Chain A
Amino acid sequence: MFGIIVGLWPSVAISWRDLIEFFTYNGIATSVLSTLFVSLTAPLVALYISFMVYSQYRFNPRWQALEKRLAPLLSLPHLAVALGLVYLFSSGGLLWSSLWGIFGATAPQWLGLPHKSLVTLLLAMSIKEVPFFLLIFSALGRQLPIKSWLLQGRALGYREITSWWLLVFPVLLKHSRLALLAAMAYTLSVLDIALLVGPNIPELYAVVLYNWQTGFTVDEQALAFVGNLVLIVMLSILIAGIYTHEWWAVRNLRHHAIRRTSLKIIRVSRLFSHWLGLFSLLTLSILITFLIWSLGWNNQQNMLSTTPIDWSFGLWRDEWFFMRGPLLNSLYIALVSSIVGVLTTLLALELQRQAKRYLPDYIWLMAILLPQLSMVYGWQISHTALNGSYHTGWVVISHLPFTFAYSYLVLRGPFQSLDRHYELVAASFGCSYWQQFWKVRLMLLRPAMLSALAIAFSVSVAQYIPTLMIGAGRVSTITTEAVAIASGNEQSITAVYMLVQASLPFVAFFVASVVSQRLRGSFDVSHQ
């Protein structure tokens, strides 16, 4: 907490002149507006797609296949998805040039995604967030009596798909506020993807702010301070956006329910019954792209030509020796910080339940919402002032606010919507309060806890700034290596590190989905 204040506090005096300079910075209005647009739209698009997919797949044998196939895309870093998309689908990208190449022609320039644009960024972010929302929905879905709502809907004479929209969507939307907020805050401040595929005339807000924050002149420091405040204002606009959208969506649905007019979106929904196939294809092509890059393939070698391509495992062999240490560090830090993060979340939720008072969500999600660079800079000042050593323990502590926030956003919905009935039954059998908590509540929450653990784990693995700033290079993780290496845009070595970086969350998500399916076998049968 102290760190936040230290980090956000201006190091220089702020004058009117600085404010004027900020607002007259060329392109600042466009920067702010386009950043707000992407941050608001990408998560919402992802949410709608996820809901349509969820409604098409949930009570369907294909659901288990979907849950398993989420793992690879969930674990790929955002940057990897953006890189893969641009490489495959941009104008002059691999897809078009090979399609046209078959006929010996060159693909037209206009075809394909622009290399750097709002659309490209929007697409990359929404594709990447879909599996995240599906995971959130699946954690929620296990706690909500969706099946019986659909039955009630049928009794009222609605078709199933209509019931999904009229009865299930409003509830899921309400419970996904935090997830939406997290996705929006991430899009708002993400730097590497904005640099790579975002428009840069003018630059996106995160990039402008980063340039000021890392500048040294008094002017830049002042601009950075004003910029951070504006960032927080932008966040509140996004929060307002979430509520406005929810209000608008629910009002619209209610309107339709009363008038019994048909919902246009239902027709769109059907398209998503083929989503799994397309999605798997996309994930697979991104993975294959990275794999062939890592084996040394590049555009100088032509797949279609007769000269053999010299595939080589050399890069893997060379780097593996240097990756083992960082990989183990990542694993250890992520394990400890995700477990502690989930436990603290349970504690926070249980204490609030006992007090019968829930604090506003933004307090718990502070770590996600505040500008990370300034906040961690503050921690760094406190850490050096305390003469803290550069131990792994400190890095774990610096990850906790993030793992806590993400597990809070996964667990809050399921925790609050848990059917109290079971605990009452347990109480009638003479179970004490804590016995009810351990034997009933936690048991019922197991699937959600697994999702929370997996997400917290992957969040910890992905941390670059806190690890570098608090670990001071003594504690290098696979991500500190991968991010530094990716900054050089050398595709083969970047691919090696990104694949290895993705492997850790992949294992976590995969294990979580397998275990939760096992668990479901034991008690979910009766609830479906």
Chain B
Amino acid sequence: MLASLMPLAHGQETQRDNAANMTASPQWQKILSDARGETVYFYAWGGSKPVNDYLRWAAKEIASRYKVRLRHVKVADISEAVSRLKAESGKQSAIDLLWINGENFSFLKQQELLLGNLWSSIPNSAMLAVQALSLQNDFGVPIDGFEVPWGVGQFNMIANPNIFNLNIAGKVNDSKITPTIILKAAQQYPNRISYPRPPEFHGTTFLKQLLVGLSHNDKRLFEYATPEAQAKLLPLLWDYLDQLHPLIWQQGRAFPSSNTEQLSLLQQNKLDMAVSFNPNQLIKEQQEKRLPPSAQRFHFAQGAITNSHNLAIPKGAQSPAGAKVVINFLLSEDAQKQKLNGSWGDPTVITPLLDPASTLPSQQELHSSWQQVIEEQWQQKYGA
């Protein structure tokens, strides 16, 4: 038992040492001194009070520790920041730091609008839990040092307990669910289930999870979506949805526009379930008394699709040193601990704080080509 823990503990110490060594290096000391007095404009989604509160805390800490001023520029949709970077086309930018992942990252990386070598220049990125979590790729696109993981999302569902705790074939289920359970629940409780309308990111992920479940984890989902593979696998999903949609909220003639809207419908007791990428969301909502204590968290039996959300610096940033200092702080043990234990509850990405017990079993993300295929065909079949 002890022996098996040893390598982990050992790895942890080396990662900490590496970070400490890098911190002491003259390069980093120069960045720290360059950063003094700078203001960092951080473009990040502003729709979550816990995240906003966390960034207010971080801004206070960063100001007192490094004399760097962190300004959270709240946006309703991060695509607004991406469109600004496009308009500036690599010249001097109004953005110093941004919170992105997925196709936003893939676009900016491909357009060469991001500053590179972040992992090698920011000391605390040495502590990233690259062994335990898949942090090297962002939706199938190699990160290559153009962004730094900040937190982890794991796809899960929050639901009223009665709905999924069905006694199927004599076996009482735990928190794992399958497409079949969802369909049975929809039959028993019509109008109470829904999912965000794709191409909303959470809605598409819900479909991906269903597809993994329905195809019993077919390995072709993790390779390029060839026409043959599509013809073989996608009908599983569409047949299933054909059965499900007449039973869900508004008979599938309308869907929540986002996961947050779905959550508020759950809070208002108009739905019995919501989807989330934050595995700790349920606990946090219950602490705030916005969901009843009886609500439960569920995840798909094959595992929760897991991906990271990240921080990147535009090439034209006016305070790149300050931005690096901010990233370094946000990856520090203090900041990651506060993020996990505070009102946000976002899981950590650094090895020293990693707690295997609290993470959901993870499911590999599908090959990125499936995303567009699923979204387009969904639109074609159910979008009108």
Is residue A102 within 8 Å, beta carbon to beta carbon, of the partner chain?
no
Is residue B47 within 8 Å, beta carbon to beta carbon, of the partner chain?
yes
Q: By the criterion CB–CB under 8 Å, are B74 and A201 in contact?
A: no
Residues in A with CB closer than 8 Å to B382 are: 201
Is residue A522 within 8 Å, beta carbon to beta carbon, of the partner chain?
no
How many Å lie between the Cα of A156 and that of B254 in the bound state? Answer: 54
Residues in B with CB closer than 8 Å to A384 are: 87-88, 91-92
Is residue A469 within 8 Å, beta carbon to beta carbon, of the partner chain?
yes
Q: By the criterion CB–CB under 8 Å, are B384 and A115 in contact?
A: no
Is residue A488 within 8 Å, beta carbon to beta carbon, of the partner chain?
yes
How many Å lie between the Cα of A484 and that of B91 in the bound state? Answer: 26
Q: By the criterion CB–CB under 8 Å, are B254 and A485 in contact?
A: no
Q: By the criterion CB–CB under 8 Å, are B197 and A200 in contact?
A: yes
Closest A residue to B285 by CB, please name it.
Answer: A300
Q: By the criterion CB–CB under 8 Å, are B380 and A488 in contact?
A: no
Residues in A with CB closer than 8 Å to B75 are: 468, 484
Known: A201-B384, A473-B41. A484 touches B46 (CB 8 A): yes
Q: By the criterion CB–CB under 8 Å, are A489 and B91 in contact?
A: no
Smallest beta-carbon distance A34→chain B, Å: 11
Residues in A with CB closer than 8 Å to B292 are: 300
User: A36-44, A229-237, A442-450, A475-483: which lies at the B interface?
Assistant: A475-483
Q: By the criterion CB–CB under 8 Å, are B264 and A380 in contact?
A: no
Residues in B with CB closer than 8 Å to A322 are: 56
Is residue B162 within 8 Å, beta carbon to beta carbon, of the partner chain?
no
Residues in A with CB closer than 8 Å to B260 are: 487-490
Residues in B with CB closer than 8 Å to A485 are: 46-47, 49, 52, 74
Known: A115-B254, A384-B91. A468 touches B80 (CB 8 A): yes
Q: By the criterion CB–CB under 8 Å, are B94 and A299 in contact?
A: no
How many Å lie between the Cα of A468 and that of B107 in the bound state? Answer: 22
Residues in B with CB closer than 8 Å to A381 are: 87
Residues in B with CB closer than 8 Å to A109 are: 191
Smallest beta-carbon distance B337→chain A, Å: 22
Q: By the criterion CB–CB under 8 Å, are B87 and A196 in contact?
A: no
Residues in B with CB closer than 8 Å to A489 are: 47, 258, 260-261, 263-264
Q: Per a CB cutoff under 8 Å, which of A26, A115, A298 touches B290? A: A298
Is residue A101 within 8 Å, beta carbon to beta carbon, of the partner chain?
no
Contact string against A for B residues 254-290, beta-carbon threshold 8 Å, 1 for contact and 0 otherwise: 1101101101110111100000000000000000011
Is residue A98 within 8 Å, beta carbon to beta carbon, of the partner chain?
no
Smallest beta-carbon distance B252→chain A, Å: 7
Is residue B60 within 8 Å, beta carbon to beta carbon, of the partner chain?
no
How many Å lie between the Cα of A200 and that of B255 in the bound state? Answer: 7
Is residue B79 within 8 Å, beta carbon to beta carbon, of the partner chain?
yes
The count of chain A contact residues (Cβ–Cβ below 8 Å) is 53
Q: Per a CB cutoff under 8 Å, which of A114, A200, A484 touches B76? A: A484
Q: Per a CB cutoff under 8 Å, which of B43, B56, B199, B290 touches A473? A: B43
Smallest beta-carbon distance B272→chain A, Å: 12
Q: Per a CB cutoff under 8 Å, which of A211, A301, A377, A380 touches B199? A: A211
Residues in A with CB closer than 8 Å to B46 are: 481, 484-485, 487-488
How many Å lie between the Cα of A117 and that of B191 in the bound state? Answer: 16
Q: By the criterion CB–CB under 8 Å, are B384 and A300 in contact?
A: no
Judged by DSSP, the binding face of A is: loop
Residues in A with CB closer than 8 Å to B32 are: none
Q: By the criterion CB–CB under 8 Å, are A214 and B92 in contact?
A: no
How many Å lie between the Cα of A374 and that of B87 in the bound state? Answer: 11
Is residue A341 within 8 Å, beta carbon to beta carbon, of the partner chain?
no
Q: By the criterion CB–CB under 8 Å, are B48 and A490 in contact?
A: yes
Is residue B232 within 8 Å, beta carbon to beta carbon, of the partner chain?
no
Smallest beta-carbon distance B67→chain A, Å: 20
Smallest beta-carbon distance B384→chain A, Å: 3
Q: By the criterion CB–CB under 8 Å, are A481 and B383 in contact?
A: no
Q: By the criterion CB–CB under 8 Å, are B191 and A488 in contact?
A: no
How many Å lie between the Cα of A480 and that of B71 in the bound state? Answer: 14
Within 8 A of A (CB), among B227-270: 250, 252-255, 257-258, 260-261, 263-265, 267-270
How many Å lie between the Cα of A214 and that of B75 in the bound state? Answer: 14
Contact string against A for B residues 57-94, beta-carbon threshold 8 Å, 1 for contact and 0 otherwise: 00000000000000101111101101110011001101
Known: A387-B92, A484-B47, A489-B260. A377 touches B270 (CB 8 A): no
Residues in A with CB closer than 8 Å to B118 are: none
Is residue B103 within 8 Å, beta carbon to beta carbon, of the partner chain?
yes
Residues in A with CB closer than 8 Å to B139 are: none
Q: By the criterion CB–CB under 8 Å, are B268 and A472 in contact?
A: no
Is residue B45 within 8 Å, beta carbon to beta carbon, of the partner chain?
yes
Q: Per a CB cutoff under 8 Å, which of A26, A90, A390, A468 touches B379? A: A26
How many Å lie between the Cα of A24 and that of B383 in the bound state? Answer: 13
How many Å lie between the Cα of A390 and that of B71 in the bound state? Answer: 14
How many Å lie between the Cα of A37 and that of B290 in the bound state? Answer: 38
Residues in A with CB closer than 8 Å to B270 are: 90, 92, 115
Is residue A125 within 8 Å, beta carbon to beta carbon, of the partner chain?
no
Within 8 A of B (CB), among A304-351: 322
Closest B residue to A207 by CB, please name it.
Answer: B257
Is residue A30 within 8 Å, beta carbon to beta carbon, of the partner chain?
yes
Is residue B327 within 8 Å, beta carbon to beta carbon, of the partner chain?
no
How many Å lie between the Cα of A114 and that of B255 in the bound state? Answer: 12
Known: A300-B290, A484-B46, A487-B77. A200 touches B254 (CB 8 A): yes
Smallest beta-carbon distance A155→chain B, Å: 55
Contact string against B for A residues 86-108, beta-carbon threshold 8 Å, 1 for contact and 0 otherwise: 01001010000000000000000
Q: By the criterion CB–CB under 8 Å, are A201 and B383 in contact?
A: yes
How many Å lie between the Cα of A43 and that of B75 in the bound state? Answer: 30
Smallest beta-carbon distance A462→chain B, Å: 14
How many Å lie between the Cα of A504 and that of B265 in the bound state? Answer: 30
Q: By the criterion CB–CB under 8 Å, are A484 and B380 in contact?
A: no
Q: Per a CB cutoff under 8 Å, which of A195, A202, A298 touches B267? A: A298
Is residue B291 within 8 Å, beta carbon to beta carbon, of the partner chain?
yes
Residues in B with CB closer than 8 Å to A25 are: 379
How many Å lie between the Cα of A19 and that of B346 in the bound state? Answer: 44
How many Å lie between the Cα of A239 and that of B255 in the bound state? Answer: 32
Smallest beta-carbon distance A318→chain B, Å: 8
Residues in A with CB closer than 8 Å to B267 are: 298-300, 491
Is residue A486 within 8 Å, beta carbon to beta carbon, of the partner chain?
yes
Question: A-B pairs with the 9 shortest C-beta distances?
Answer: A27-B384, A488-B47, A473-B73, A484-B46, A484-B74, A472-B94, A214-B79, A489-B260, A487-B47
Can you list 19 A-B contacts with CB-CB less than 8 angstroms, sorted by A residue number? A199-B254, A200-B197, A201-B253, A201-B255, A214-B82, A299-B267, A300-B267, A300-B289, A300-B292, A322-B56, A472-B41, A472-B94, A472-B95, A473-B71, A484-B76, A487-B46, A488-B260, A489-B258, A489-B260
Q: A30-B384, A201-B382, A214-B82 are in contact. List 6 more A-B contacts (CB 8 A).
A: A26-B384, A195-B258, A387-B92, A472-B41, A474-B94, A487-B260
A-side residues, CB < 8 A to B, are: 25-27, 30-31, 87, 90, 92, 109, 114-117, 195-196, 199-203, 211, 214, 216, 298-301, 322, 377, 380-381, 384, 387, 390, 464, 468-469, 472-474, 476, 480-481, 483-491, 493
